[in-house]
């Protein structure tokens, strides 16, 4: 895993731990670090800027200074050695192919949730699947639901009766387009 992915992941976890139900923004992270520094007498008396954080997450700065690494490690409560790129093919424990796929899928879902954070319902759904013990199985179930005629509409009626019916119309249009192309 790259350092940039680790920082994004830690912001996601920290945001959820703080009750935000989303990743902390880079600016929220900077403010939280500054606030912790102000409250702690033994704190590292340095800070980090939002632009520096952005450079790290975008890969513009592949390495951290030791001071920044210690600052972020203290804030996120991780070992400073965690805040480096993992070597190619590195695994912290013996894993089979399925958990590796599961981990990659969960990271992909968290990343997708971050991209769709302006759609709170979709963001929450993606995070719920990512946090499930078997996200792969969740997607296999979704495929079965989609492949079973009328099941999706019936489940919406039962589980989300307040959901508007027009939300399903684009799916019907997609199906109509597929049948006309065949």
Note the pLDDT of residue 118: 83
CATH 1.10.260.40 range(s) for the chain read: 3-82
Note the pLDDT of residue 38: 79
Q: pLDDT tens track of the chain, all 182 residues? A: 788 888 888 988 888 888 888 889 999 999 998 888 877 766 556 788 899 889 988 888 878 888 888 888 888 888 888 888 777 766 555 555 555 677 788 888 888 888 887 888 888 888 889 888 888 899 899 999 989 888 888 888 888 887 645 544 455 555 555 555 55
Beta strands in 35-164 (DSSP E): none
Chain centroid to Cα 126, Å, comes to: 8
Under CATH, domain 3-82 is a member of which superfamily? Answer: lambda repressor-like DNA-binding domains (1.10.260.40)
Long-range CB contacts for residues 123-127, cutoff 8 Å, separation at least 24 = 123/22, 124/21, 127/16, 127/21
For residue 145, how many other CB atoms are within 10 A of its CB? 12
Distance CA 68, CA 46 (A): 8
Note the pLDDT of residue 27: 93
């Amino acid at each position: 895993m790259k350092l940039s992915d680790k920082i994004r992941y830690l912001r996601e976890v920290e945001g959820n731990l703080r009750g935000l139900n989303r990743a902390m923004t880079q600016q929220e992270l900077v403010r939280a670090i500054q606030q912790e520094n102000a409250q702690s007498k033994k704190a590292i008396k340095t800070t980090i800027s939002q632009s520096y954080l952005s450079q790290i997450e975008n890969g513009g700065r592949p390495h951290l200074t030791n001071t920044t690494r210690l600052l972020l490690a203290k804030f996120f409560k991780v070992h400073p050695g965690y805040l480096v790129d993992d070597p190619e093919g590195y695994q912290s424990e013996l894993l089979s192919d399925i958990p590796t796929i599961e981990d990659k899928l969960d990271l992909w879902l968290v990343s997708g949730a971050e991209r769709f954070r302006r759609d709170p319902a979709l963001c929450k759904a993606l995070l719920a699947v990512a946090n499930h013990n078997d996200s792969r199985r969740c997607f296999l179930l979704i495929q079965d639901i989609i492949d079973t005629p009328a099941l999706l509409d019936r489940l919406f009626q039962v589980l989300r009766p307040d959901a508007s019916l027009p939300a399903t119309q684009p799916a019907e249009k997609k199906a109509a387009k597929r049948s006309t192309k065949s």
